[in-house]
Each structure stands twice: as structure tokens, then as C-alpha cells.
Amino acid sequence: MTIPMWMLLGFAAWTLLLLMATVGVYRWVAILFSNVPIASFRSDQLEGQDWYRRGTRAHANCVENLPVFAVIVFVISALGLNGPAVNGLSILVLIARVFQSLVHVSHVQTNRFVAVRFTFFSIQLACFLALMVIVACHGA
């Protein structure tokens, strides 16, 4: 398995871990210890403590970006691309994703923390674009 594939797997694992550690913990504690009905959690309305809402959004951010990274890794793998640039950019995607999520979940979102979070998101976007350029240059 290649480094980009491992990073994609890591991205998926992080998405699940984030779900379990934030949304899952909040909901299961409420269901098991507060007699909240399991059907009471609605996806179309904001509810819960601030950290729970941030956890929900952080997980959704992962879900939104996972398919993008998956397609890029698929094409890289299909073309047999590898090397330090592809590997480094793929590693940086996962590192930036983890830090973006951690900043999102662990801090009240002041302007400073949103700027830090956006920086980590921007790093991911730059890596996605750089990987696509590598693919395009290889395919040309």
C-alpha cells in the first residue's frame, strides 16, 4: 500500500474517531444516563452544548473533504504516481486535517482560533491542488 493510500485510510479513521469521540459520546451518554429518547437527535436543528455542535461540524467537515481526497488518491494510484512530493503532500493533508479538527473541537471559536483552523484548511486545499497539478502534469 502506498503512502497516499495510508493517508486516505488515516483520514477515514480520523473521521470515524472524531464522530465517536464527539457526537457519539454526547449522544450515548444522553441516551444511557439521561433517559433521552434515541430518536430525539434531529439533524435539522442545532442542539446541545457548544463543544458538541463544534464536534458535529468538525465531523461534517471531514465527511465533506474525504471524498475529494479519495478521488485524488484514486487517480494517483491508478496512474502509479509516487515520490517525495506525492508522499509529502499526502502526509500534510492528514496532519492538517487532524489539527484543523482539534482546533475546531477543543476551543471556543474566537477570531484567532477560526484563523488558525482556516489556515489548516487552506493547507489541505493547497495540497489537494498541488496533487492535482502533479496528476495533470503526468497525464499531459
Neighbours of 88 (CB within 10 A): 13
Neighbours of 24 (CB within 10 A): 15
Residue 27 CA to residue 20 CA, distance in Å, equals 10
Residue 91 CA to residue 13 CA, distance in Å, equals 14
For the cut 90, the answer to whether the pLDDT of residue 113 exceeds it is yes
User: Which amino acid would we find at residue 52?
Assistant: Y
Question: pLDDT class for 29, splitting at 50, 70, 90?
Answer: confident
Residue 29 CA to residue 44 CA, distance in Å, equals 21
User: pTM here?
Assistant: 0.90
Residue 124: the pLDDT is 98
What total of structural domains would you count in the chain? 1
Question: pLDDT class for 140, splitting at 50, 70, 90?
Answer: low
DSSP category for residue 84: H
Mean pLDDT of 23-35: 83
Minimum mean pLDDT among 29-33, 53-57, 65-69, 121-125: which range? 29-33
Domain CATH number, residue 66? 1.20.120.550
Question: pLDDT class for 24, splitting at 50, 70, 90?
Answer: confident
For the cut 70, the answer to whether the pLDDT of residue 84 exceeds it is yes
Minimum mean pLDDT among 22-26, 57-61, 68-72: which range? 22-26
Largest interatomic CA distance in the chain: 60
The full length of the chain comes to: 140
Structural domain boundaries enclosing 102: 3-139
Burial (CB count within 10 angstroms: exposed 0-12, middle 13-18, buried 19+), residue 42: exposed
Contacts of 105 by beta carbon, 8 Å cutoff, 6+ apart? 18, 22, 51, 54, 55, 58
